[in-house]
Amino acid sequence: MAKKFQNFIDGKWVDACSGRTFENRNPANWDEIVGTFPKSGKEDVDQAVRAAKTAFERWRLIPAPKRGDIMRRVGDLMVARKEELARQMTREMGKVLAETRGDVQEGIDTAYYAAGEGRRLFGHTVPSELSDKFNMAIRVPVGVAGIVTPWNFPMAIPTWKIFPALLCGNTVVFKPASDTPATATSLVEILLEAGVPEGVVNIVHGGGGEVGMAIVGHPEVDLVSFTGSTVVGKKISEVAASTLKRVSLELGGKNAQIVMDDAELSLALEGVLWGAFGTTGQRCTATSRLILHEKIHDKFLQMLKERTEKLRLGDGLLPGTDVGPCINRDQQETVKSYVEIGQKEGARLVTGGSIPKGNGMDKGWFYAPTVFADVRPVHRIAREEIFGPVLSVLKAGSLEEAVAFLNDTIYGLSSSIYTSNVDKAFRAIRDIRAGITYINAPTIGAEAHMPFGGVKQTGNGHREGGWTVYEFFSEWKTVYVDYSGGLQRAQIDNYQG
């Protein structure tokens, strides 16, 4: 009998109003049901938003350092349950245990960072132009935050959003991805155990069209934070515009790693293997393109082929597994279709390009790590986000050409260059159009205390992580205190002779 999960609304675990449910299955073994979850709709969202709006009036009055104390307890509980959470995550989304442990650790780091921010929600004091008057700007909560998250980092990304939202004094309506609802439920359970009051955090399971868009379009949701595809992000922006609510969008990427002819090739190889095939390539920061200087192109490509073919596919819970499955059949089919597109466009298949059979692979959504060479910037596999274990290799004759190739997409999230020349490194930092640039490191590996986000169609300018996310989840209030005892007029000419 599969475990039954519920929504959490206004302090109670409840079924969807419709009574409908959906199954969550293990992508490495589709016969294994992780649990059944409520297939919610607009009525469930309405209830959650009402609860969050009511709870906001109490929660906003709790001092930020006290809210920070709760975040610290959340971190402690996550430390105690780290292995359990990691194994649950691998069962429902497939990536290997080393990665799911890292996903949980990212949440732990974010919790402790949030705890400290409870005593660092700094404002500003500035001199007044008038006598006996005090000017300051302070940070205040916004209201009800709608949180819509993806499946590839089912613990880390929700914590990037929910912890700052709560720390700033907002309440939350949380819609996790339908592919990873169990991990999301565990996070809510931890928040409750840590002391988050009733109504402050609500979780509503279900599809993006029914639940996600109901949250986005709800007139009493004050801000929305979304991570997902650029296509969906544009739709969210349109729907949210009708109520002029604040929206943070962290969207797609087509990230590239450059390897110059003076690079340490063995280091660059380790970087691209991790960047391209970690999380089965299912990261917004994944290395989807590899741009090689022509002088080392052939040598490096042979090194890459040999190492890629040694990667071990399998269940992420098993020791020795390097690459897990795609999240579901649709994603496996997407990867398969892009491999076919690459071949039709004239790119050369170096390795991979197939769905593996046998050794337990038939029950899961696996796809062999794939490398294409002779890829040109105009090819679709060099321009479109695939979100799978497919790497496109391009050849460049100079740093300038490599950077031009890297910048030639609608996206601008992460980027990487391997070089031993400091001048080239700093030119790359200056000229690459991306929110993140790594020098001699892969395109993946963001740290919780640093801003995270991109440019162009990767987002709408906001950043997650670090101190910057607290700007999104709080409002500035300007305060003037006049203790002169008389009327002072600031917005007229006080400088007349």
Secondary structure element (H or E) that encloses residue 401, with its range: helix 399-407
* Residue 494 confidence (pLDDT): 66
Catalytic one among 210, 250, 385, 464? 250
User: Helix (H, G, I), strand (E, B), or coil: what is residue 406?
Assistant: helix
Render 334-353 in DSSP notation, one character per residue.
Answer: HHHHHHHHHHHHT-EEEE--
* Residue 358 confidence (pLDDT): 87
Cβ pair 187, 159 in contact under 8 A: yes
CA distances from 212 to 84, 144, 177, 216, 485 (A): 28, 14, 9, 6, 52
Give the separation between CA 324 and CA 174, rounded to whole angstroms: 27
Give the separation between CA 160 and CA 77, rounded to whole angstroms: 17
* Residue 473 confidence (pLDDT): 98
Which fold would CATH assign to domain 7-251+459-478? Aldehyde Dehydrogenase; Chain A, domain 1 (3.40.605)
Chain centroid offset of residue 224 CA: 14
Question: Is this model's pTM higher than 0.95 or not?
Answer: yes
> Residue 467, Cβ neighbours under 10 Å: how many?
15
List of the chain residues with pLDDT < 70: 494-497
* CATH architecture type of domain 255-439: 3-Layer(aba) Sandwich (3.40)
CA angle 491, 493, 494 (to 5 degrees): 100
Render 70-130 in DSSP notation, one character per residue.
Answer: HHHHHHHHHHHTHHHHHHHHHHHH---HHHHHHHHHHHHHHHHHHHHHTT----EEEE-SS
User: Helix (H, G, I), strand (E, B), or coil: what is residue 361?
Assistant: helix
> SS3 sequence, 205-251?
CCCHHHHHHHHHHCCCCCEEEEECCHHHHHHHHHHHHCCCCEEEEEC
* Residue 496 confidence (pLDDT): 64
CA distances from 10 to 108, 186, 442, 445 (A): 25, 17, 43, 36
Radius of gyration for the chain, computed over Cα atoms and rounded to the nearest angstrom: 24
CA distances from 456 to 224, 384, 404, 410 (A): 20, 14, 15, 6
- Sorted by sequence, the CB contacts under 8 Å of residue 173 that are 6+ apart come out as 45, 48, 49, 52, 144, 145, 146, 147, 202, 204, 215, 221
3-state helix, strand, coil in the chain (%, to 5): 40, 20, 40
Domain boundaries, the chain: 7-251+459-478, 255-439
284 has catalytic annotation: yes
Cβ pair 104, 85 in contact under 8 A: yes
Catalytic one among 99, 106, 210, 284? 284
Of 478, 477, 481, 496, which is closest to residue 130 (Cα–Cα)? Answer: 481
* Residue 1 confidence (pLDDT): 77
Question: Quick one: 80 exposed, middle or buried, by C-beta within 10 A (0-12, 13-18, 19+)?
Answer: exposed
Dig out the tokens for 46 from the structure: 């309405």
Number of H helices, E strands in the chain: 14, 19
How does pLDDT run across 264-278, given as a tens digit for each residue? Answer: 999 999 999 999 999
168 has catalytic annotation: no
